[in-house]
Structures are given as structure tokens and as C-alpha cells.
Amino acid sequence: MVRFPEEMGLIVNDSSPPRKNRLEQYRKKIAVRSLETPKQYRSRVGRISRHRYLMDNRPAPAQRKTEIETFHETVERVKTKHKQNLAEIKANTLSTREKQIAYDKARGAYESRTFLEATLRMKGIDPAADIEGMKTQYQEWKSANRGHRRNASR
């Protein structure tokens, strides 16, 4: 068991020569140095600002004209691509009604006695006694009123 740091070879005295020397070197190099502004740093290192660089290297009028034309062509190309993407998304998206029907089918609502009874009564149809009869009544009502409902809302 180690009781004293000297037994392990640790430096106990903080004023030992190597440690003092390192602290002094640090103070000389870093701690005493004042803060630089970005402008001072650029002037010391030799860099110029982006604005100054662009102002010093202006393009010729012909080159600028081609840049503007290229920009407008790119804008048109991106617009048409975006319109195509929106049209494709719109074509592939289900309506709210279609989503609801798919959801109801997935959970088995069209196979449910309570759903069919309530729906048929709401439509003014007396439901049949068995579930198969109710399904056929519901399908007949749908086929009879398929175009009527869609055109009535317009």
C-alpha cells in the first residue's frame, strides 16, 4: 500500500523547475496574447473577405449574361420537374373517402352485422335477417346509387 506520493515517484513540489518552465512558456505564447478581430486575423494571414474578392473579380458583361440565362433555364427546369412530381403525387393519392373505405374493409366493418344494419336503416332499407342478405342489399344499394351520389354534390 502506498502512503506517500514520493513512494510512487510523483512530483510533490509544484515549484519544481520543469513545471515552472512549462507555465512560463505557456504564459508567453498563449495567455498573454491579446484577442484578434476577424479583420486583424485576415490581414495577418493574408486572406481577403468574400465580398472584396467578388468585387475585385467581376465577370465580363457577356459572361454575366450567360450566367443569368443559365440561371433562368435552371429555374424553368426545376419548376417543370416540381409540377410533374406534384401531378404524380396527386394521381397516386387516395381520396379521403377511399381511405375510409379501405380502413373499414381492413377492420372488417363491411362484414359486421351492426354496421350493415345501421347503414341500411340510415338509407331507408329494412335489413334482411341474415348477414349475407344484408351484404347483398348493401351491394345493390351501392350499385343503384353509384353515379347519383357523385353528381349530386356538384
Instruction: Tell me the per-residue pLDDT of 21-64, one tens digit each, with 9 for 90 and over.
Output: 887 777 777 766 677 788 888 788 887 888 888 888 888 999 99
Give residue limits of the domains in the chain. Answer: 15-58, 60-92, 96-146
Percent of the chain residues past pLDDT 70, beyond the cut:
82
pTM of the predicted structure, to 2 decimals? 0.38
DSSP E strands: which ranges in 46-128? none
| Cα–Cα distances in angstroms (integers) from residue 131 to residues 112, 118, 143, 145, in the given order | 8, 12, 18, 21
63-96 b/e (C-beta count within 10 Å ≥ 16 → b)? eeeeeeeeeeeeeeeeeeeeeeeeeeeeeeeeee
Tell me the one-letter amino acid at 122.
M
Contacts with 116 (C-beta within 8 Å, 6 or more apart), sequence order: 110, 127, 131, 134, 135, 137, 138
| Average pLDDT over every residue of 86-90 | 94
Tell me what pLDDT residue 6 has: 55
